[in-house]
Structure 1
Amino acid sequence: MKNKLLALKLLKQKIHDPSLTFPLISEKTGYSKRQLIRLSHSLDESSDMEALCHHANEGKEPVNKALKSEIQFLIDLKKPYPSITIAQFRDIFFEDVLNDPAKSDIVARYHLRPRSLSWFRSLFIQQGWKSPESRKPLRRDGRAPHPLREPAPQRGMLIQIDGTPFDWIGNNEMWTLHLAVDDATTEPLAGCFMPTERQLGYCYVMYDILTKYGIPMSLYSDKHTIFRSSKEGNLTQFGQMMADLGIEMIFANSPQAKGRIERYNGTVQRRLPNDIIRFGIHDYDTLNRWFTAFYLPYIRSKFAFLPKDPHDAFVPLDGYDIDSIFTLRYERRIKNDSFSINGIYYSLIDENGEIMHIINDTPVSIRVNVFTNQMYALRYRKKYPVTVTRDRRKRPSSIADNQKDLHEILNNFSAKK
């Protein structure tokens, strides 16, 4: 325990008593030599020891104390965000108010000042606001329950992909965010919102990655049937697309095994709903465009870090026909000049627009573009358009209470032919 009054008395005696050395005074008072030298500069023969023991600001209001106008402004700023982390609320205050030149009059009027994270933490406690930020308890030995492995050294070496269902807009509709995060930098590379987790969402994500960055070395995912076939050794449709690009699929056995993207999903779930409110996003079409154009770079600037190896592992897309990559693949055999998929019969069309005559049992490869649903057949590496010849799908039962209803049903049949 430091004794300031004793230190001042001994320093004053030292002026006339050379036997009182700084090490001796330090041992008796708890002050370091440097602190004692600084204290000695404030001494003279007429020094009042009691007065020197008190700090000059004692009893005064702190010069940086927030005024009531500033506190009230922050209370009003918080109202649209009932569940927000302390860090994000501070970000919004800095980005939307303090650093906005158009808000300079507001900053002056309410006496707003840049505040530290600890200051905002105290404000949350004073106002009784709860932050959704939560940390999992450590183990008894003080380590995290699932220690993290070292990240991949190069950007593009390992991409983690996952789907997260959530009510992002707050309209009681659960939509799934399909997200891809680079393992080396934790930067989000691409994202897509869809009503459910589906193959098309991951195709959009991969299309963005391929066209913006190139071909990654591998993808790390869970064992969803989109990625991993239930039949050992078989590739899913998505797996075949990745195989065409030379991308290796790696599967995790548990959510903890792909911890980086799981934690990133948690970060996005906490931040994104508030930023959707903040930027006035009201529908998922707008959200998808805004998320890709603005939010990915915005969130990347906050949480991404440099990889250990500055050289990218992404490979340029040169030489690949990307439209041919993102296709569903079916193998069929011709019967009576046609083949069927999902109860619909198709025939190949030649360059004159005529149905082609093909020998029965001839194998053909069918491709369907995942984005446009455009279908074509491959024969001898040549693409042939196809046309619908019959629709044998099961039709739902219809009820006709009168002749008018029957007439409408028949008209619908004619329209579908």
Structure 2
Amino acid sequence: MEKIIMDVNQLKIYRLACKVLEGKLKVKDFARLINKSYRQSQRILKKVEDKDFLGVIHGNTGKTPHNKTPEHIEAQIKDWLSYKYQDFNITHFMEMVLENEHYPQMPKKSTVHKLAAKHGLVKGVRRSKRRSFKPRPRMEQEGMLIQFDGSNHVWFGSERTDLLAAIDDATGKIVGAEFFYGEKSQHCLKVIKDLIEENGIPEAFYMDQAGIYGKADREWESQIARAFEQLNIRLILASSPQAKGRVERLFRTLQDRLVSELKLYNVNDIEEANKYLKRFIKKFNKQFTVKPIEDEKAYRRNVFGNLDLILCRKERRKINVGNIFSYQSVTWLIDEKRCYRGRQVNINTHVDGRQSFDIMGREIRPKPIKSSKFLGHKKRAV
């Protein structure tokens, strides 16, 4: 004999229905007590009259729902979220399964979220109460404004590294990014140089006034300002993180998505991380870039000279009698017949670490003739 189980509410409805059928309770009172309409109460009474207690049991009781997720699919999703993709949010998880696993039976997002919640596998996000800021409208053209910032984080492995990134304000496209050890402005110049070589010269840069240079590296701030002046780029310094909200949100996204993917593919050194970063940026831009208001780009062609000599650290020294000058406690000789006494020599430290010398743009090749211990005194940029 089939065993039928009634819950407390069904038992209550059955007992009240029996009282109505026995004439001890009015239909309108029955409807009020079970919180149903008068017509629905009449239908319930008819079922109880015909089927006795079976009349209050729903017709689908004991049946498997036609849209229930099969157990083997639920088990597979649980296994992935428990181990291989444990650091991924639901949306990112589904994207990576589609990319890596080619799993044709993946349910829709709401179903996956319910299954993850059922097993306690939903990746929670702690959000503190913050002051709200009115969003600034996007720029009309790509290249009108580049938001630039750095983030010190455990991106891969166990050590903290710096990720410098630039995002176009009009489209949300990542136009430059690279991992470095230490957020120095020499590294900033490298990312900016790569950006310009690939896209052209933008109209303006939006940077953090305090965070990007660091208190111990103020000299580099003047170097970037000098380089931007030479390239006719407007430099806007933001006084708060909220002022450059798009690049701040970018880093929140990267700390979620990029960190998870670097861990998934066992990336543990900076060389491999930078290789994977290029692949990640292509995928990110394809998925998240928006169409600008105007199709015409604001990037400009470089007509200002050699970027190697502009986006670099520049220092000057005065040439003395005998065509000699001192730099970092080393005496250098310009071995030429021409006399340069009283002129200024430019010492250029490039983003790749190379060093070059020039006088009014003409390259020279001086020779070191005497050296002593360099104490590392800082000089202001010219």
Q: TM-score range by the shorter chain?
A: 0.7 to 0.9
Cα deviation digits, residues 2-37 of structure 1 (max 9, x gap): xxxxxxxxxxxxxxxxxxxxxxxxxx999xxxxxxx
Correspondence 1:154 to 2:141: yes
Measure the CA separation in 1 of the matches of 2:122 and 2:368.
Answer: 59
* Structure 1 residue identity aligned to 2:367: T
Give the 5 Å matches for 1:114-153. Answer: 114-137=106-129, 145-153=132-140
Give the 5 Å matches for 1:200-211. Answer: 200-211=186-197
Q: 1:29 to 1:202 in 2, by over 3 A?
A: farther
* Structure 2 residue identity aligned to 1:83: D
* Structure 1 residue identity aligned to 2:316: E
Shift of 1:229: 10
Contact 1:200-1:371 within 8 A present in 2 as well: no
Q: 1:304 to 1:316 in 2, by over 3 A?
A: same
Contact 2:189-2:312 within 8 A present in 1 as well: no
Q: 1:263 to 1:288 in 2, by over 3 A?
A: same
Give 1:61's match in structure 2, choosing from 45, 61, 64.
64
Measure the CA separation in 2 of the matches of 1:259 and 1:391.
Answer: 49
The residue number in structure 2 matching 1:415 is none
Q: 1:368 to 1:386 in 2, by over 3 A?
A: farther
The residue number in structure 2 matching 1:304 is 289
Contact 1:227-1:239 within 8 A present in 2 as well: no
Correspondence 1:88 to 2:68: no
Q: 1:258 to 1:316 in 2, by over 3 A?
A: same
Shift of 1:63: 3.0
Tell me the SS of whatever aligns to 1:377. Answer: strand
Measure the CA separation in 2 of the matches of 1:88 and 1:226.
Answer: 29
Contact 1:166-1:175 within 8 A present in 2 as well: yes
Give the 5 Å matches for 1:397-408. Answer: none
Contact 1:349-1:384 within 8 A present in 2 as well: no
Measure the CA separation in 2 of the matches of 1:251 and 1:187.
Answer: 21
The residue number in structure 2 matching 1:362 is 343
The residue number in structure 1 matching 2:301 is 316
Give 1:334's match in structure 2, choosing from 313, 319, 322.
319
In structure 2, runs of 5+ residues without a counterpart are: 1-36, 40-56, 376-382
The residue number in structure 1 matching 2:272 is 286
The residue number in structure 2 matching 1:44 is none
Measure the CA separation in 1 of the matches of 2:121 and 2:72.
Answer: 19
* Structure 1 residue identity aligned to 2:144: M
Q: 1:335 to 1:274 in 2, by over 3 A?
A: same
Give 1:214's match in structure 2, choosing from 192, 200, 224.
200
* Structure 1 residue identity aligned to 2:241: P
Tell me the SS of whatever aligns to 1:211. Answer: helix
Measure the CA separation in 2 of the matches of 1:310 and 1:58.
Answer: 59
Give 2:78's match in structure 1, choosing from 64, 75, 79.
75
Shift of 1:206: 1.2
* Structure 1 residue identity aligned to 2:112: F
The residue number in structure 1 matching 2:369 is 389
Give 1:184's match in structure 2, choosing from 152, 155, 170.
170
Measure the CA separation in 1 of the matches of 2:70 and 2:94.
Answer: 18
Correspondence 1:198 to 2:184: yes
Cα deviation digits, residues 55-92 of structure 1 (max 9, x gap): 99776423332222212212222213433212111211
* Structure 2 residue identity aligned to 1:147: K
Tell me the SS of whatever aligns to 1:63. Answer: coil
Contact 1:80-1:277 within 8 A present in 2 as well: no
* Structure 2 residue identity aligned to 1:74: I
Tell me the SS of whatever aligns to 2:171. Answer: coil
Relative contact order, CA 8 A, sep 6+: which one is greater?
Answer: 2
> What TM-score, normalized by structure 1, do the two folds share?
0.69
Tell me the SS of whatever aligns to 2:277. Answer: helix
Deviates more, 1:72-81 or 1:299-308: 72-81
* Structure 2 residue identity aligned to 1:223: Q
Shift of 1:176: 0.2
* Structure 1 residue identity aligned to 2:325: F
Identity of aligned pairs, percent?
24
Measure the CA separation in 2 of the matches of 1:283 and 1:60.
Answer: 54
Aligned residues: 319
Measure the CA separation in 2 of the matches of 1:57 and 1:309.
Answer: 57
Shift of 1:394: 4.7
Shift of 1:254: 0.6
Shift of 1:274: 1.1
Give 2:352's match in structure 1, choosing from 353, 360, 371.
371
Measure the CA separation in 2 of the matches of 1:29 and 1:245.
Answer: 80
* Structure 1 residue identity aligned to 2:285: R
Q: 1:149 to 1:208 in 2, by over 3 A?
A: same
Contact 1:226-1:238 within 8 A present in 2 as well: no
Q: 1:149 to 1:56 in 2, by over 3 A?
A: farther
Give the 5 Å matches for 1:221-260. Answer: 221-224=207-210, 236-260=222-246
Shift of 1:198: 1.0
* Structure 1 residue identity aligned to 2:98: F
Tell me the SS of whatever aligns to 2:359. Answer: strand
RMSD: 3.1
